[in-house]
Chains A and B, each alone.
Chain A
Amino acid sequence: GENVEQHPSTLSVQEGDSAVIKCTYSDSASNYFPWYKQELGKGPQLIIDIRSNVGEKKDQRIAVTLNKTAKHFSLHITETQPEDSAVYFCAATLVGSARQLTFGSGTQLTVLP
């Protein structure tokens, strides 16, 4: 089955700096890669996703890049703000299959004011 590894497990940045979180996946058939943000005491919330037919996607201060050959994808947050502090999870699956989303282990991002 699919295995998703996520790094780093913790990340501290100064407000205004950029943050990058990286994930690798094992199953080359996977074609959908969402990123979730989980704030303390809340459920995960989808913030951005990418499908394997594109290499990059942006939404304001966040972007995701995908390298299918290397089987890794990354989340980029620019101009970080204290409210970006949360746990971020990457995930992977094959759209249209019965396969579930496989999540990474999470990254605790702390934005220091």
Chain B
Amino acid sequence: EAGVAQSPRYKIIEKRQSVAFWCNPISGHATLYWYQQILGQGPKLLIQFQNNGVVDDSQLPKDRFSAERLKGVDSTLKIQPAKLEDSAVYLCASSSGPGQGNTEAFFGQGTRLTVV
């Protein structure tokens, strides 16, 4: 089966610009996650969707980050305006069931964002 698809793979922007990342989860997976992975650290959850509803966005910086999952399939994560500290790899993951640990989460390759 096809894996989690993300685009773009790399993005370089200047601070205060906006950027958007796209994720296509594994077909049929109801749960979708966006993680931020800063260099040298483990992934940190930004937002979790169950179908097209938000389950957890407690660590999403809502003043600059937004995410949506229309029709419960694809998702986009947006940053506006970007700051230097947003430089990181943004990982999308999906799983067939709710809750982490109930079913395996499959990760995409990520989008490496560099803010200069």
Contact = CB atoms under 8 A, between A and B. Distances in A.
Interface of A: 4, 6, 31-32, 34, 41-46, 89, 91, 93-101, 103-106
Interface of B: 4, 40-45, 48, 55-56, 59, 91, 93, 99-102, 104-105, 107-110
A45 B99 CA distance: 17
A98 B54 CA distance: 12
Given A96-B102, A100-B56, A43 B40 contact: no
Contacts of B101: 31-32, 34, 93-96, 101
Contacts of B59: 100
B93 to A, nearest CB: 7
A44 B109 contact: no
Nearest to B48: A100
Q: Among A43, A44, A46, A91, find the residue whose CB has the most chain B CB atoms closer than 10 A.
A: A43
A98 B57 CA distance: 11
Most buried by B among A99, A100, A106: A100
Contacts of B55: 98
B58 to A, nearest CB: 9
A32 B102 CA distance: 9
A105 B42 contact: yes
A89 B109 contact: no
B17 to A, nearest CB: 24
Contacts of A46: 104-105
A5 B51 CA distance: 32
16 contacts: A6-B42, A32-B100, A32-B101, A44-B91, A44-B107, A46-B104, A93-B101, A94-B101, A95-B102, A98-B55, A98-B99, A99-B100, A100-B45, A101-B100, A103-B43, A105-B40
Contacts of B40: 105-106
A91 B105 CA distance: 13
A43 B91 contact: yes
A94 B101 CA distance: 8
Given A43-B4, A98-B55, 17 more contacts: A4-B42, A32-B100, A43-B107, A43-B109, A44-B91, A45-B107, A46-B104, A89-B43, A95-B99, A100-B45, A100-B48, A100-B56, A100-B100, A101-B45, A101-B105, A105-B42, A106-B42
